[in-house]
Amino acid sequence: MNYSFCYFKPITYLIYDLDGLLLGTKTLYQKVNQIIAQRYGKTCDLSVKAKMAGRRIKE
């Protein structure tokens, strides 16, 4: 069987979208936070998100 049609070019660029400018990931991020918080019997509302905003991981 000939697989020559499966040739891919090597990746030369990679774009990181960490602030949600290119892809609207904020809604997904919020949903994941809610799901994880619920697993531990907690809530992740706007007051919790406001406390987390701008903090480093160690904080």
Q: 7, 11, 16, 19: which one is catalytic?
A: 19
Is 45 designated active site?
Answer: no
Q: 17, 32, 43, 52: which one is catalytic?
A: 17
DSSP 15: -
Q: C-alpha distances in angstroms, 23 versus 9, 20, 27, 28, 35? A: 24, 5, 11, 11, 21
DSSP 10: P
Is 17 designated active site?
Answer: yes
User: Which residues have a catalytic role annotated?
Assistant: 17, 19
